[in-house]
Structure 1
């Protein structure tokens, strides 16, 4: 049969080289085989690249093996028409200048329509202000306490104080106190305790050795210190009664000595108190009449459930003594132990804590007036009515420059703002922003005592000063600092008479009553809506006015506004363009010498890009500062994955542009190694199946390697860590 097929003859030519057979590594350990295979592939890739450069450039291909692409290039400007939007480092044609990526190009578009955004509303009537028609004396408190309250300039109770104080003074029932932030819950439970013990001391000889009458548990050391300070001020009229803090980070030996000497009121954190219950024999509970669980939702979120359960169990085992250790009758005190739970929410964790600690409790909340009618507070609560809220939609690249512009415009008028708090998600980011916003170190050495506890946490601010406020103080605070440093820094911020800024994590968001806080800035959104409300609750307290602003990026984060509106009222939208124009129109003096200059004749876009270039150059000049930026970036990414499950749709890790976000940390490119330290494990069933097929046991490390366990990508690992942290309700980023 004839062959009727078609014969094709392809001439491959003499230049085509057949691909080299891929070497196969055999024998030895699996890990060694993988390393050897990767080494061969890298050598082959390097040879191919070198040959490619030879053929393309026509040279001998002698290129340094350690060569890396430069971060930025230096070029000579040619005379040309200026680009719209401006480029940094401008100068005369023919002069070298540094190239940096534009801050105003390739940014995502905002969903918010700023032309239709609401005009800033007038502040409503305060919802947490003292009531003018009432007085503390009318609530049945002793004259001694009323006199001390007047010295503190507190003569009118708030709504929650008016409701709770008479009940706790006259009743022996447990109580659940629920009120919005800044409404005076601390005084609501402290005053009834002190009143009843002071009344007992008038008829009997009560002193510090009479026993412990009240224990107050707080979730953080800062809140414990604050409650202790309030009690000390109120106990000035009765020096025979003593309060003492029992918190982590302090000397346990000193605490034991104070307990042995005699204490009437303990203000404690759960972990340290549990330690003393186990190891301090002089700590006796038979005279305790009040147990206060302050910020109950936070106590549960931080994992103190076991410690609280141990305390409640030991209190239940201890008999209620009818008299003190020296024989003084306690008949005028409650005949049972009263538990008071304070929380702004009624979440499931709080209900669980209530079931564990309360018996037939009275629910106490402020009466809802017609003028300030609130929604039901079963799961959420509201911000103060007089608080002016806003949000700034800004691309990731412009976050830092926009923050500086906003701070500069805030402090543009003398006396307008005295204290401002910036909330950031993690300690590394706090350290970075503090370092970048502080003034030159030479100035600090001449003005600060080198032996001071705050020498590294308090400094003079740069960039944000103005002709009206030439000296602005800068503070930083987070949970990784030693406790004495944290206490001294917080005291310095509270007592500062100059305009001052506190850069902090969520460690400062709960319960702290810092006077004269005018503005709260959330550079990083909170991990949950409850934390957001607590943050902005540091201002507009006890009837004072206040402002808050949160930074959001264009896209899915803008949807977070709807969640804020349902809990705390609709905030006013601001565009970053307006913020930049207002802030950069004020003359700026750069405190450090770099090639980039910010001059008056430049447009606001040129100023913004030159300011960004100036900050980037500062990082490149100092290795330690560069490491701060990299660590801050990595920690920020990890913290971003810990938002609660319900809010993760607004804060989608997959939507982050890492290169743009790196610019907000003054980095030229996003650093690697973000997923280091995250445990990467496949499912147990998958490991067992592969191990059963390949031989070694799934439980051993060698078995998992030989079974070909799947390596999870960094982004998936972040999401997995976020889901895990969401279940726990807290993470290292909330405090550290």
Structure 2
């Protein structure tokens, strides 16, 4: 019998017929050419040479087919792990029928591309050390050298544990006590709040007859964010402990106006708040009396200008001018830009300029300017910045696909595996990114959900506690949270000993959070002054601190931008960060599948972790939706970098397929292509195939204001 007859005989076997598949059922018994194609298909499917016996009985054919299927299953397991679905496509034969492959259908297979393939080359960065602007924090003098009230000095020394002044306090307190307007520049974390709070409380306690809460407001303090307002309010509460007749109060957006109006009606002497809510009360709250106002403090003045609160601040100042004859004004900021100078021109009269970084105090006249809203770019107004001496600044360059696993490795090293665990703040660009990472990490760092046989004797309550135990506690903070949740998060993270705060730039200014050892900037901040404010959350008041900046290969020029601002950076290698993953699997064995051996190299560890993250994200519809929103908001935000930084941060440098991996997605959502950068196509087509940008007109895209994408804490 010839080969064709052999094929015909084999096709009568039910097992062989089942192995061929439904796609060729209609052509099995066709002409000679179709039967020859079917035989070739069997060879590809079996991955083995057919037996050259002239005939096969039905039982022999069944045995042969069963062995072939066992061999195929073994090969499938190997292929499923190493197959790169970014480049692998299903083939099509000439008749239009899709040919059978040794693996399962694409949609049913493990869809995972290698993390270490097709990545851009990481450039070599020549980081030259620069001479930083040094600003010593503490002075050699104590508060006793100032002419302060005895009870004030005792409270500072015994209750608040302040024995030594900082340089900004040493230089700012005397002129403020003398009644001069002041424009103060000092690095973040240098004690600027006490620099204006101490003179105010000292002056109010000396008023005779004693002031009472019914006298109205003597001082107004304007602050950019709710958290900073609450923090400064606590400082005033601590200062007035010896003087119970002085009553501080706080008004912020998110709180009930009716309750705040009741407190104002009852009486407040020092009123702190965000600009929007303060302006509301100044205009509409009739019980808010300003005729005895003595002090106006504008803290974080540059931040107020950048956040668009300039209009509210001007409204407050105009109302104060109508109701008071004389007041003393103090502006404080970590950076003095032209915007701050113009803001100072609203109300300062012959202010004393205090710049601690230059170690000089000079008197200069700031001309009054009729200030209008000006949205021009002020990014190049500051040529250099000062940072704390004990701040160690690092950066790491990671390809897009490896960003997420690198962040997990860093958290594991500093907050999970370390003998002395650290507190860490991770800055992100959008609220959606905060929500995604908080949800992902809370799941990832949770210990095994399964209870072992040894733990089976525990009570149900004990088992629930064990199930929910997390290796490290994650907190989230962004402007879209309820005020109650924001305050609770701020309080818990400030008092905890080990934890990680995932936040937007809402926490970048002025906040004093205890014992922060690491600042991680997972997304670059843009202007150098924003970088300074972020890293200012650590190394405060002379303490030791560390910061790490994540950069993609296309963003490495940003290091030179920081160097031009007198900021020293040191590089750490990505492989050194990823090596920490090898020990993480001992703490979290759930990442390993039952049939997987522990990884032996950091490449294997990163790949295994990425597979697990993608499984977690894509198996839960809710988690997948959160990841997609985070991806889309990241792309939108990335397109809003200032004009002078577009050569470094441009959306055309993003590989959207690789970016999706950093959000645990297997493909870019919407109309994005994982392997092709749509920015290379025509502009009109680019806007159409970017549904996540939610912009259909290129002119709208150009005109859209930057502030619409920024994360701010509204004062309303």
2:663 matched residue in structure 1: 665
Deviations 1:541-578 (A, max 9, x none): 000010000100012x0000011222352211122122
- The question of 1:353 aligning with 2:338 is answered no
- The question of 1:110 aligning with 2:88 is answered no
Inter-partner Cα distance in structure 1 for 2:618 and 2:707: 38
Q: Using the TM superposition, give the Cα deviation of residue 619 of structure 1 relative to its aligned residue in structure 2, in angstroms.
A: 1.3
Q: Using the TM superposition, give the Cα deviation of residue 527 of structure 1 relative to its aligned residue in structure 2, in angstroms.
A: 3.4
Aligned pairs (5 A) from 1:498-517: 499-517=498-516
Inter-partner Cα distance in structure 2 for 1:211 and 1:601: 68
1:342 matched residue in structure 2: 332
Q: Helix, strand or coil: the match of 1:669?
A: coil
Inter-partner Cα distance in structure 1 for 2:610 and 2:324: 66
Inter-partner Cα distance in structure 2 for 1:141 and 1:719: 62
1:37 matched residue in structure 2: none
Inter-partner Cα distance in structure 2 for 1:275 and 1:510: 23
- The question of 1:384 aligning with 2:392 is answered no
Relative to structure 2, which stretch is displaced further, 402-411 or 342-351?
342-351
TM-score normalized with structure 2 length: 0.74
Q: Structure 1's 83 and 603: CA in aligned 2 closer, same or farther, altered over 3 A?
A: farther
Q: Helix, strand or coil: the match of 2:199?
A: helix
Q: Structure 1's 599 and 199: CA in aligned 2 closer, same or farther, altered over 3 A?
A: farther
Aligned pairs (5 A) from 1:230-245: 230-245=235-250
Q: Helix, strand or coil: the match of 1:670?
A: coil
- The question of 1:656 aligning with 2:654 is answered yes
Inter-partner Cα distance in structure 1 for 2:658 and 2:534: 27
Q: Using the TM superposition, give the Cα deviation of residue 596 of structure 1 relative to its aligned residue in structure 2, in angstroms.
A: 8.0
Q: Helix, strand or coil: the match of 1:237?
A: coil
Inter-partner Cα distance in structure 1 for 2:661 and 2:220: 48
Deviations 1:16-63 (A, max 9, x none): xxxxxxxxxxxxxxxxxxxxxxxxxxxxxxxxxxxxxxxxx999xxxx
Q: Helix, strand or coil: the match of 1:236?
A: coil
Q: Helix, strand or coil: the match of 1:356?
A: coil
Relative to structure 2, which stretch is displaced further, 646-655 or 606-615?
646-655
Q: Structure 1's 179 and 730: CA in aligned 2 closer, same or farther, altered over 3 A?
A: farther
* Contact 1:118/1:573 (8 A) holds in 2: no
Inter-partner Cα distance in structure 1 for 2:308 and 2:466: 37
Inter-partner Cα distance in structure 2 for 1:629 and 1:516: 31
Q: Structure 1's 502 and 591: CA in aligned 2 closer, same or farther, altered over 3 A?
A: farther
Q: CA RMSD in A?
A: 3.8
Inter-partner Cα distance in structure 1 for 2:543 and 2:604: 39
Of residues 181, 186, 189, the one that matches 1:174 is 181
Inter-partner Cα distance in structure 2 for 1:362 and 1:626: 55
1:641 matched residue in structure 2: 639
Q: Structure 1's 588 and 284: CA in aligned 2 closer, same or farther, altered over 3 A?
A: same
* Contact 1:175/1:341 (8 A) holds in 2: yes
Inter-partner Cα distance in structure 2 for 1:735 and 1:303: 11
Unpaired segments ≥5 residues, structure 2: 1-32, 36-71, 86-101, 361-379, 450-464, 674-683
Aligned pairs (5 A) from 1:546-625: 546-555=545-554, 557-590=555-588, 595=593, 599-625=597-623
Q: Helix, strand or coil: the match of 2:395?
A: strand
Q: Using the TM superposition, give the Cα deviation of residue 649 of structure 1 relative to its aligned residue in structure 2, in angstroms.
A: 1.7
Inter-partner Cα distance in structure 2 for 1:279 and 1:461: 52
Q: Using the TM superposition, give the Cα deviation of residue 601 of structure 1 relative to its aligned residue in structure 2, in angstroms.
A: 4.5
* Contact 2:672/2:689 (8 A) holds in 1: no
Q: Structure 1's 717 and 197: CA in aligned 2 closer, same or farther, altered over 3 A?
A: farther
Q: Structure 1's 190 and 561: CA in aligned 2 closer, same or farther, altered over 3 A?
A: same
Inter-partner Cα distance in structure 2 for 1:266 and 1:485: 23
Q: Using the TM superposition, give the Cα deviation of residue 173 of structure 1 relative to its aligned residue in structure 2, in angstroms.
A: 2.4
- The question of 1:364 aligning with 2:354 is answered yes
Q: Using the TM superposition, give the Cα deviation of residue 95 of structure 1 relative to its aligned residue in structure 2, in angstroms.
A: 10
- The question of 1:246 aligning with 2:251 is answered yes
2:487 matched residue in structure 1: 487
Q: Using the TM superposition, give the Cα deviation of residue 142 of structure 1 relative to its aligned residue in structure 2, in angstroms.
A: 1.7
* Contact 1:629/1:665 (8 A) holds in 2: yes
* Contact 1:561/1:571 (8 A) holds in 2: yes
- The question of 1:98 aligning with 2:110 is answered yes
Bigger fraction of residues in helix: 2
Q: Using the TM superposition, give the Cα deviation of residue 368 of structure 1 relative to its aligned residue in structure 2, in angstroms.
A: 3.7
Inter-partner Cα distance in structure 2 for 1:85 and 1:712: 35
Q: Using the TM superposition, give the Cα deviation of residue 348 of structure 1 relative to its aligned residue in structure 2, in angstroms.
A: 2.3
* Contact 1:222/1:487 (8 A) holds in 2: yes
Inter-partner Cα distance in structure 2 for 1:484 and 1:721: 36
* Contact 2:133/2:387 (8 A) holds in 1: no
2:399 matched residue in structure 1: 395
Inter-partner Cα distance in structure 2 for 1:296 and 1:720: 33
Q: Structure 1's 319 and 608: CA in aligned 2 closer, same or farther, altered over 3 A?
A: closer
